[in-house]
């Protein structure tokens, strides 16, 4: 069954189903990275290291604010995919419209929280005074456009849940090109400051959201959005929250841990902030094979469980894990070898390059561990076991990571400790997931 752009993943070749679904996600994520990379490249080259530090330090705080709501919205994708796999039209419609309502609520909350609390949180993170005002400006403008990026992610989640990964790709290509053009116009031509980079991003995201909702309101399939059916469906919202809340809490706690890490980076000054910030953009690209297959895995597992194709679930999960781990490690090797050249693309300042290369070469050869942890998390979420990934990630990526830094930095104030805490905690979570996956009855 393949109606229009939707894809029922409980039929046909497993490898083709997953690859055809994952490839557009990979390309879409590639263009999505242009949002943040265009900001950093253009800001770094036109406005300098000072402005790059202000923009680069915003990533962890953005995910802290957005991650909770994105995690909960995963619950909507899981339940939509499950009902779609079972061909349950009534409940697909209910889940789609309940997810839409959640997106509206999340948009309002994020706008208020982001605009009001950004200065306080940045000061709490120990952001240097020299970049504080630029960071506040960038983030407040970004969060003022919460409706655009929240609803875009909601719409993409609906489309991907029903196996359509091609439509989001088309919309992302369009909006990413617009984002780059606006960055060049606002900063390169008009000479505006870092706030204009945030403005370019939110304009582009509103365009993406608009294109998605056109698709969802014009389709004739069961996941069509009808404005007269948008209402507060408490029962369905409860299911979405039950499945998505663990992922939301996980994202928030990991974000808090990463904010602690960023605070430690901030203590080494602007050059460390700029160098590690440049690496974070590179890691965003390195993460693309992982995120592509994890989304494919979650949708595949959920749809096939809905169709009661249990043997197919296991085979598809294995295929997705192998592909993700192998691709992630290949990307890691390339990142390790060309770290210097990649960092210099963002900022040629020698001190910035030293910090960025040090961060890259400490982590790149361990991307396989990062991929494995995310893949097993995605399998378990697709199976509705969302609490297990939450607990593993909270302990390994939050409690252990923060404890190491809190104690270690008081003894030895070294940037190397910040670098190596990531691969260590990736290894720890991978070990726990391996043991659980092999011994537990996760279906």
Residue-wise pLDDT tens for the chain (443 aa)? 444 466 667 778 888 888 888 888 788 777 766 666 666 777 777 777 767 776 766 666 677 677 777 778 888 888 898 888 888 989 999 999 999 999 999 899 989 988 898 888 888 767 777 778 888 888 889 899 989 988 988 998 899 888 888 888 888 888 888 888 898 898 888 878 788 888 888 898 899 999 999 999 998 888 999 998 888 889 998 988 888 888 788 777 777 777 788 788 888 888 888 888 888 878 877 887 788 888 888 888 888 888 888 888 889 889 989 989 998 999 999 999 999 998 888 778 888 899 999 999 999 999 999 999 999 998 998 888 888 888 998 899 888 988 998 888 888 888 889 899 999 999 999 999 999 988 876 66
Annotate the chain with three-state secondary structure.
Answer: CCCCCCCCCCCCCHHHHHHHHHHHHHHHHHHHHHHHHHHHHHHHHHHCHHHHHHHHCHHHHHHHHHHHHHHHHHHHHHHHHHHHHCCCHHHHHHHHHHHHHHHHHHHHHHHHHHHHHHHHHHHHCCCCHHHHHHHHHHHHHHHHCHHHHHHHHHHHHHHHHCCCCHHHHHHHHHHHHHHHHHHHHHHHHCCCCCHHHHHHHHHHHHHHHHHHHHHHHHCCCCCCCCHHHCCCCHHHHHHHHHHHHHHHHHHHHHHHHHHHHHHHHHCCCHHHHHHHHHHHHHHHHHCHHHHHHHHHHHHHHHHHHHCCCHHHHHHHHHHHHHHHHHHHHHHHHHHHHCHHHHHHHHCCCHHHHHHHHHHHHHHHHHHHHHHHHHHHHHHHHHCCCCHHHHHHHHHHHHHHHHHHHHHHHHHCCCHHHHHHHHHHHHHHHHHHHHHHHHHCCCC
Look at phi and psi of residue 44 and say left if phi exceeds 0, alpha if psi is from -120 to 50, else beta.
Answer: alpha
pLDDT at residue 59, as a whole number? 66
Interhelix angle 58-85/49-56, nearest 10 degrees: 40
pLDDT at residue 112, as a whole number? 92
Side-chain half-sphere exposure of 262, counting CA atoms within 13 A: 30
pLDDT at residue 1, as a whole number? 44
Give how far Cα 26 sits from Cα of 160, 287, 294, 425, Å: 13, 10, 11, 25
What is the end-to-end Cα distance of the chain in Å, rounded? Answer: 24
pTM of the prediction? 0.75
By the 10 Å C-beta count (0-12 exposed, 13-18 middle, 19+ buried), 173 is classed as: middle
pLDDT at residue 48, as a whole number? 73
pLDDT at residue 385, as a whole number? 86
pLDDT at residue 354, as a whole number? 92
Given a contact cutoff of 8 angstroms between Cβ atoms, the answer to whether 148 and 156 are in contact is: no
């Amino acid at each position: 069954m393949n109606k229009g752009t939707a894809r029922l993943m409980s039929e046909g070749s497993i490898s083709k189903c997953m690859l055809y679904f994952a490839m557009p996600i990979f390309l879409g994520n590639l263009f999505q990275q242009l949002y943040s990379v265009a900001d950093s490249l253009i800001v770094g080259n036109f406005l300098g290291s000072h402005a790059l530090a202000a923009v680069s330090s915003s990533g962890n705080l953005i995910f802290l604010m957005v991650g909770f709501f994105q995690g909960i919205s995963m619950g909507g994708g899981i339940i939509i995919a499950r009902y779609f796999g079972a061909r349950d039209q009534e409940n697909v419609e209910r889940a789609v419209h309940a997810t839409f309502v959640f997106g509206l609520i999340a948009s309002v909350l994020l706008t208020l929280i982001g605009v009001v609390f950004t200065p306080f949180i940045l000061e709490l993170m120990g952001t240097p005074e020299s970049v504080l005002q630029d960071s506040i400006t960038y983030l407040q403008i970004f969060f003022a456009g919460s409706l655009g990026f929240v609803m875009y992610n909601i719409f993409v989640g609906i489309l991907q849940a029903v196996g359509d990964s091609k439509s989001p790709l088309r919309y992302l290509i369009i909006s990413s090109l617009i984002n780059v053009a606006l960055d060049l116009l606002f900063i390169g031509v008009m000479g505006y400051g870092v706030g204009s980079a945030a403005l370019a991003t939110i304009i582009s995201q509103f365009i993406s959201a608009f294109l998605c909702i056109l698709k969802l309101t014009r389709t004739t399939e069961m996941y069509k959005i009808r404005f007269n059916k948008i209402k507060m469906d408490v029962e369905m919202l409860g299911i979405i929250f039950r499945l998505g809340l663990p992922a939301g809490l996980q994202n928030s706690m990991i974000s808090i841990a990463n904010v602690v890490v960023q605070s430690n980076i901030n203590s080494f000054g602007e050059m460390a902030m700029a160098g590690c910030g440049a690496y974070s953009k590179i890691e965003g690209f390195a993460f693309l094979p992982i995120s592509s297959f994890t989304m494919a895995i979650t949708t595949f597992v959920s749809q096939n469980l809905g169709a009661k194709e249990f043997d197919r679930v296991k085979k598809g999960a294995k295929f997705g894990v192998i592909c993700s781990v192998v691709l992630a490690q290949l990307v890691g090797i390339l990142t390790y070898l060309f770290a210097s050249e990649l960092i210099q693309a963002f900022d040629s300042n020698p001190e910035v390059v030293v910090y960025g290369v040090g961060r890259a070469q400490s982590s790149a050869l361990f991307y396989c561990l990062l991929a494995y942890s995310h893949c097993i998390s995605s399998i378990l979420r697709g199976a509705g076991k969302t609490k297990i990934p939450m607990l593993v990630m909270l302990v390994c990526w939050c409690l252990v990571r923060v404890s190491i830094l809190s104690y270690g930095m008081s003894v030895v104030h070294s940037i190397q400790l910040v670098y190596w805490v990531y691969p260590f905690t990736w290894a720890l979570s991978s070990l726990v997931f391996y043991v659980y996956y092999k011994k537990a009855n996760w279906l």
